[in-house]
Structure 1
Amino acid sequence: MVQNPMRRTLVAGALGTLPFIRTAVARTRYVFDQNVGRLEFIARHLGVLSSTGHFEDFAGELLIDPDRPLTTHVEVTVKTAAVVLAYPGAVDLLRSPAFFDVEKYPEATFDGAATGEGTLARFFLAGNLTIRGVTRPHRMEARLIDRKVDPALGREVATFSAAGDMKRSEFGMTSDQTAISDTIRLAVRVRLLV
């Protein structure tokens, strides 16, 4: 019997893609929001004080390959009008055109992935942060804080955190620069059933 070399090449090529297909199928999707997590921002004032605010409406998705967790992909969408900061007038200021301009830009997003560096105890996410229609590269340091069985749920629960700095001026938020620092710390903490 004569073998067709073209057929052998096609079969070998198809078999060579199987690990990639398995990897794509092996990813598990986890969703999270303000009910299982917290998304905060921290700003310094006059170089002495700091304030912490948060968002009460956000949604995220993690795609994790349990065999290769350092290839995790993450997407987060934040409703900018859902900003909370416990200072009189602060919420109105943050919603105004000087800051988030929520009428024109109702959402901010982050789309990124683990870079493959580090371990689950300390790894890095790199992607794009979009605020006020402006997109900039953004990097965060992430950690698996805890993973254990929750007796009340009868399921394993994993707690992750991630944090990174951004410059608000890069997104057109230049108001009150003498009183409010340009560098803002973004921090998220999420508890997932795994």
Structure 2
Amino acid sequence: MAHPLLIGRRILAGGLAAMVVRPSRAATRSRYVFDGTRGQLEFTARHLGILSSTGRFENFAAELLIDPDQPLTTAVTVTVHTAAIALAYPGAVDLLRSPAFFDVEHFPEARFTGAATGRGSLAGFSLAGELTIRGITRPFAMDARLVDRRRDATLGADVAAFAATGEMKRSEYGMTAESAAISDTIRLTVHVSLIV
């Protein structure tokens, strides 16, 4: 049964998706789901080596499978609708939807699946999985951490906020346009708050 979620919003220094870990017994895990109406999935690029821009995906679905007794055995799956991009720069959304970048007509979805490596603690742990963009699948690593855990009197429950970040090379996914103006390295970030 899905647990309700609260999604924390935060201005991010960097710009896919969440805490992950080696799966444990499915019978002991709880399923958490969230999407773009309650979550934040962002990407950040550098421009000309001096400026940066942060955009977000407004339509995605994520599932976390968490063993409350072993939180470092979490698994995650995230599916992103690539056309649902929001970025403040004029013309940027059309450029990112074009064949030179996400090519949303031919590749309407991107996907991340992964699991924690079992190393670290809630203060900082490693995630390993695969990221698929434009039909190309490559290994993708993320660093995750527990940002905050507090009692919410209104909800009568504890809320745990997690963050995860990772860096990808867009050229590895066939996105080589505008290489003089836009960095090859793109940072992906997810923030999520769970009722635990």
Whether the TM-score (by the shorter chain) exceeds 0.5 is: yes
CA distance in 2, matches of 1:43, 1:23: 38
**1:24 is matched with which residue?**
26
Structure 1 residue matching 2:72: 3-state secondary structure: helix
Structure 2 residue matching 1:94: 3-state secondary structure: helix
User: Can you list the C-alpha shifts for 1:26-72, whole angstroms capped at 9, x where unaligned?
Assistant: 11111111233210000000110000000111110111112221111
CA distance in 2, matches of 1:160, 1:37: 12
**1:139 is matched with which residue?**
141
Q: Which moved more, 1:140-149 or 1:111-120?
A: 140-149
**1:38 is matched with which residue?**
40
User: Can you list the C-alpha shifts for 1:88-131, whole angstroms capped at 9, x where unaligned?
Assistant: 00000000000001111111000000100100110011000000
Question: Identity over the aligned pairs, expressed in percent?
Answer: 69
CA distance in 2, matches of 1:69, 1:27: 9
**1:156 is matched with which residue?**
158
CA distance in 1, matches of 2:170, 2:155: 40
Structure 2 residue matching 1:92: 3-state secondary structure: helix
**Aligned residue-pair number:** 173
How much has 1:144 moved relative to structure 2?
1.0
Q: Is the 8 A contact 1:36 1:191 kept in 2?
A: no
Q: 1:48 aligns with which of 47, 50, 54?
A: 50
Query: Relative CO higher for 1 or 2, CA cutoff 8 Å, sep ≥ 6?
Result: 2
For structure 2, the residue ranges without an aligned partner over 5 or more in a row are 1-23
Bigger Rg, structure 1 or 2: 1
**1:17 is matched with which residue?**
none
TM-score (norm 2): 0.86
CA distance in 1, matches of 2:62, 2:145: 17
How much has 1:192 moved relative to structure 2?
1.6
Q: Is the 8 A contact 1:36 1:192 kept in 2?
A: no
**2:63 is matched with which residue?**
61
**1:165 is matched with which residue?**
167
Q: 1:192 aligns with which of 179, 191, 194?
A: 194
Q: Is the 8 A contact 1:161 1:189 kept in 2?
A: yes
TM-score (norm 1): 0.86
For structure 1, the residue ranges without an aligned partner over 5 or more in a row are 1-21
How much has 1:155 moved relative to structure 2?
2.1
CA distance in 2, matches of 1:154, 1:106: 40
**2:113 is matched with which residue?**
111
